[in-house]
Structure 1
Amino acid sequence: MSVALPRFVVAAPGSGHGKTMIATGLMAALRARGLAVSPHKVGPDYIDPSYHGLAAGRVGRNLDPYLVGEELIAPLLLHGAHTPTRADVAVVEGVMGLFDGQLGGEGFSSTAHVATLLAAPVLLVVDCAAASRSVGALVHGFTSYDPELQVAGVILNNVASPRHEAEARASIRGIDVVGVVPRLPEIVVPSRHLGLVPVAERRPEAVAAVEALAELITTHVDLDAILALAASAPALSVTPWSPTPADVPAPADVPVLGGRGVTSRPRIAVFGGPAFSFTYAEDIELLEAAGADVIRVDPLAGDRLPEDTAAVVIGGGFPEMHVERLAANAALSSDVRRFAEAGGPVVAECAGLLYLGRTLDGVPMADVVPMSSQMTKRLTLGYRQAVALADSPLTRVGEQVRGHEFHRTVAAYHKPHLDRPQTPPRPATNPTSAWEWGVYGGGRVTEGWATATVHASYLHVHWAGHPEHARRLVEAARTFAAGGPAASAEAGTGTLAVKPQAPVTREVATP
């Protein structure tokens, strides 16, 4: 099929040129004009899309060829542009410098790579704070480096004065300058150890910042020229991505009698709120398409696990910034621990791994995984091609996935037989690491914790690239809700140490 969608990509020569500020402001300014804007982000970042979503009024989505494959980039763009309603224009913020992508990948997963896959014109944002006429040489290099890429417009950012603007503008040849943004330090979006502070942690301030950015862009950028640039993008001859592929039948909705649940749609508790705001939108859509009812749980709001919870998903975020408040909700951590002990399927990524451990920076957590973690100054960052080491609620031994690591904490695992007695015993026998992958210079590392019912790891995986993960988790949840062990017969992992026979107890207990 052929789908027309006006679109453009916001890129820059490198990090720090103001891509996020300009892209977010453009989304908000176009929305203020009455347009439906579909917001997107190149790469695995969770934080920038939270600002995009605030600006556009619809969920921000990621486009990452490394995580999901090249063939899904245009379909995922169209899915976002048609969900929940058809958008008038799609705005895609790039990552790092225009041609920077996977290390050693010769530009794979770069902004330029994604723009080419989308046949989208590129709007180049250039920070002029430390240059004037040299800006022309920089723009010339970026517009001529890749003949397959259409760099169609330039926005000059951080311009100090009319004279500074005139000098920079005069140096640029063969491409239109569609905006000149002055140096305005009063518009600030705070950052910390992993980038910007997410919207979920500062919503009132974030709303004010986005409104200010919309006014800034409306005043200093030619929106009509940018919309004309977006309209020049050709129609895409692809089918929008769907969380329910044509070759996978929709789940039947029939009663399940005699177990924990009342229908075949098991309830999956997905952690959210300020401490756990990192979840790809498509992951939730895949769970729902596979037949689950997704219930949001915010630990910082005092939430508990809902009645009849059949699986728990704890994504990424910043638990280290809220560790005392997480510990204060001891009732929820007790719920999660008891749920895991009863054999319920639990999946955790990065922040979720930290929450499932015994302690984080010395503060008690849920004590599901025999592990303690702490903050460090060292950043662990990069794409990983991983091999699954265990049958779990997500994986089967030997399967390969592509994921991403991004954290400043380290985890130290304890040997169960050297630790305090387990009462009752943990539900899974023969625990192992979740993943193995190669490292630069040779050698291999193992990471995470996996059993028949628990999968916890630092690795972020985009389920659109691995939809079987969502389907397996929902099937494990359905089995658990019906009164059976969550470990799938397909996994072949044997009998659980604790076979679930009754609903999760709702008593308050400290970890």
Structure 2
Amino acid sequence: MMNKKINRIMIAGTNSGCGKTTVTCAILKALKNRGLKVAAFKCGPDYIDPMFHSEIIETNSRNIDLFLCGERQARYLFAKNSENTDVSVVEGVMGFYDGVGGNTGENSSWDISNKLGIPAVLVVNCKGASVSVAAMIKGYLDFDKNRIEAVVLNNVSKHMYKMYKETIENRLGIRVAGYMPFEPEAVIGSRHLGLVTAKEIGSLKQKTELLAAIAEETIDLDLLLDIANNAEHFDYEKIEVEQISDVRIAVAKDRAFCFYYQDSLELLEKMGAKLIYFSPTEDIRLTEDVDGLILGGGYPELYLEKLSKNAGMINSIRAAWREGMPIYAECGGFMYLGKSINSYAMTHIIEPGFEMTEKLQNFGYVTLTAKDNTMLLEHGESATAHEFHYSKNDSDSGSLTARKASGKTWETGYCKENVFALYPHIHFWGNIQMAARFIKKCEEYKK
């Protein structure tokens, strides 16, 4: 067992939409402007918030997910990715106590804070309330044993802040670490999967600089650093990874396909793979010397015409598939392998077509079980995953059985021969054998 000092703090929230991402981005940029080396993390499976963190701190943000990875792997990844930094800032997920299912706090911000010993600061949206804010905070403090050490008030004006602060500190004894006023120039837009991605906002640098300037004035950053610096020492177990083969894997990465867990990609590299990034919207073919293909999630529905008209790339991927190249695809990548998306022709490796819908189709953590032997899972084997999409396909069957904590089940995925494609997203650190099998399949193809 390893033990080290990691200065760490979590910016959690009372609920989704309370402003924790805005506050987190403001704090990250303000700390970086002070010259500190900052590591950033996001609780849960979200891809988009880490993209904002990464743009701000100019290095990759990571996910902490106890369901997808398991506590042992999550602790190791947190320690590894916090090396050589002054402070690690963790953004929470949803409401503080919201976990895997509707009636459990497992894998919630609260759960991760407790298990990883991360002191928490609670972001509270004060819009439309005054003294009631103190009552709400008291509920979070008293609901269960927690590590909440301060609160930050969002949507509060300068002239009202003193009243809020005095009421909360006098009635509850919790420290108020500052506030964020509403700033229309710093608002970030959203769409069906959450915020728009960081690469789509041309003015992101100006927005985050504005947020940082506000945070320097309105948030007690020294208090937050003091809380982080007083976190207990961190225990973790080092995990060794076997180097398997020096294969080359093509990874689709552009605005249409941008949902990847950085730690998953780096696990493949630890196993010996060289990742070759390409754009299905811009590049006309796969490079000729790759041994496998990964198509991640993202927003292919926003680039249907470009994807459909790129016949060179479609033909190149179809040729690789026919030759037996291993293909792993998630969500948006799964859709790209279909016959069509909203009647726009795609690669047609998978027969069903896909249609975008107005409502969320499946959402939440699932356990996947293989119904037959597949490229990455043998019959009866299971993997942890997370599903979130606004599209559906024409098929009512699948190679995998998905089960939620509630007991609800459904069939999903197309996993035949050299293709493993599915809606749910998988974190390879929670399913290391799947990553190893993919590398070995690529090696077989290479030979």
For the aligned pair, the TM-score class normalised by the smaller chain equals over 0.9
Distance 1:441 1:89, change over 3 A: closer
Identify, as 1 or 2, the structure richer in helix. 2
Partner of 2:163: 167
Residue 161 of structure 1: how far off its partner (Å): 4.4
Aligned residue in 1 for 2:187 = 188
Which of 334, 342, 349 is the matching residue for 1:368?
Answer: 349
Counterpart of 1:335 in structure 2: which amino acid?
Answer: S
For residues 146-165 of structure 1, what are the structure 2 equivalents within 5 Å?
146-147=144-145, 149-162=146-159, 164-165=160-161
SS at match of 1:436: strand
Distance of aligned partners of 1:460 and 1:168 in 2 relative to their CA distance in 1, 3 Å threshold: same
State the match for 1:452 in structure 2: 417
Q: How far is 1:312 from its partner?
A: 0.3
Change (3 A) 1:18 1:104: closer
The residue number in structure 1 matching 2:138 is 140
**Could you tell which deviates more after superposition, 179-188 or 350-359?**
179-188
SS at match of 2:36: coil
For 2:40 and 2:328, the matched residues in 1 are separated by 28
Which of 310, 313, 329 pairs up with 2:294? Answer: 313
Q: TM-score, normalised by structure 1?
A: 0.83
Task: After TM superposition, give the deviation of residue 300 of structure 1 in Å.
Answer: 2.5
The C-alpha deviation readout for 1:317-338, integer Å capped at 9, x for no partner, is 0100111111122211111111
Matching residue within 234, 254, 263 for 1:273: 254
1:127 is aligned to 2:125: yes
Whole-Å separation in 1 of the counterparts to 2:254 and 2:338: 19
Task: State the secondary structure of the residue aligned to 2:211.
Answer: helix
Q: Provide the TM-score with structure 2 as the length reference.
A: 0.95
Alpha-carbon distance between aligned partners in 1 of 2:294 and 2:319, rounded to the nearest angstrom: 15
Letter in 1 for 2:156: V
Query: What is the CA deviation profile of residues 128-150 of structure 1, one whole-angstrom value per residue up to 9, with x for unaligned ones?
Result: 11111221112222122223x12
Residue identity opposite 1:167 in structure 2: M
Quote the offset at 1:393 in angstroms.
2.9
- Does 1:113 find its partner at 2:106? no
User: Mean alpha-carbon deviation: is it higher for 371-380 or for 73-82?
Assistant: 73-82
Shift of 1:2: 1.0
Return the match for 2:338 from 329, 346, 357: 357
Q: 2:204 aligns with which of 193, 206, 225?
A: 206
* Structure of larger gyration radius: 1
Which residue number corresponds to residue 424 of structure 1? none
User: Do 2:186 and 2:208's aligned partners in 1 also have CA atoms closer than 8 Å?
Assistant: no
Taking the TM superposition and a 5 Å limit, the aligned residue runs for 1:28-427 are: 28-82=29-83, 86-104=84-102, 106-147=104-145, 149-162=146-159, 164-173=160-169, 174-202=173-201, 204-240=202-238, 242=239, 244-245=240-241, 248=242, 250-251=243-244, 265-379=246-360, 380-413=362-395
The alpha-carbon distance between structure 1 residues 290 and 390, as it changes in their structure 2 partners (threshold 3 A), is farther
Alignment partners' CA distance in 1, 2:251 and 2:377: 19
CA–CA separation in structure 1 for the residues paired with 2:253 and 2:338: 18
Deviation at 1:372, TM superposition (A): 0.2
Moved more, 62-71 or 34-43: 62-71
Amino acid at match of 1:382: G
Contact 2:334 2:423 in 1 (8 A): yes
Q: Structure 1 residue runs of 4+, over 6 Å off?
A: none
1:438: how far off? 3.5
How far residue 288 of structure 1 moved from its aligned partner, in angstroms, is 1.1
Q: What amino acid does structure 2 have at the position aligned with 1:150? A: R
Q: Distance in 2 between matches of 1:303 and 1:40?
A: 35
Secondary structure at the aligned position of 2:186 is classed as coil
Separation in 2 of the partners of 1:277 and 1:323?
A: 15
Q: After superposition, what is the alpha-carbon deviation per residue over 1:282-305, rounded to whole angstroms, capped at 9, x for unaligned?
A: 111111111211100112232521
After superposition, the C-alpha distances for 1:82-103 in whole angstroms (9 at most, x for unaligned) are: 2xxx111100000111001111
What's the offset of the Cα at 1:13?
1.1
Q: CA deviation at 1:273?
A: 0.9
Q: What is the Cα deviation at residue 107 of structure 1?
A: 0.3
2:433 counterpart of 1:434 = no
Q: What secondary structure, in the 3-state scheme, does the structure 2 residue paired with 1:22 have?
A: helix
Partner of 1:471: 436
Q: Equivalent residue for 1:498?
A: none
Amino acid in structure 2 at the alignment position of 1:11: A
Distance 1:475 1:190 in 2: 42
Aligned equivalent of 1:25? 26
What is the identity, as a one-letter code, of the residue corresponding to 2:332? Answer: A
Deviates more, 1:295-304 or 1:381-390: 295-304
- Taking a change above 3 Å as real, the CA distance of residues 209 and 389 of structure 1, as seen in their structure-2 partners, is farther
Q: Distance in 2 between matches of 1:443 and 1:405?
A: 13
Q: Which runs of 5+ in 2 are unaligned?
A: none
Q: Distance in 1 between matches of 2:211 and 2:303?
A: 29
Deviations 1:342-397 (A, max 9, x none): 11100100000100011001101111111100110120211111101233332212
- Amino acid in structure 2 at the alignment position of 1:127: N
Q: CA deviation at 1:441?
A: 7.2
Q: Which amino acid aligns with 2:148?
A: V
Give the length in aligned residue pairs.
442
Q: For the structure 1 residues 236 and 406, does the alpha-carbon distance in structure 2 shift closer, same or farther, using more than 3 Å as the test?
A: same
Amino acid in the other structure paired with 1:181:
M
**Counterparts of 1:141 and 1:441 in 2: how far apart (Å)?**
26
Q: Amino acid of the residue matched to residue 291 of structure 2?
A: A
SS of 1:180 mapped into structure 2: strand
Q: 1:210 to 1:391 in 2, by over 3 A?
A: farther
Closer/same/farther in 2, CA of residues 268 and 185 from structure 1, 3 Å limit? same
Preserved CA contact (<8 Å) 2:29 2:57:
yes
Q: Aligned to 1:24, what secondary structure does the other structure show?
A: helix
SS of corresponding position for 1:475:
helix
Q: CA RMSD in A?
A: 1.7
Gapped regions of structure 1 (runs ≥ 5): 252-263, 415-431, 483-511
**Percent identity over the alignment?**
34
Please name the residue that 1:500 is paired with: none
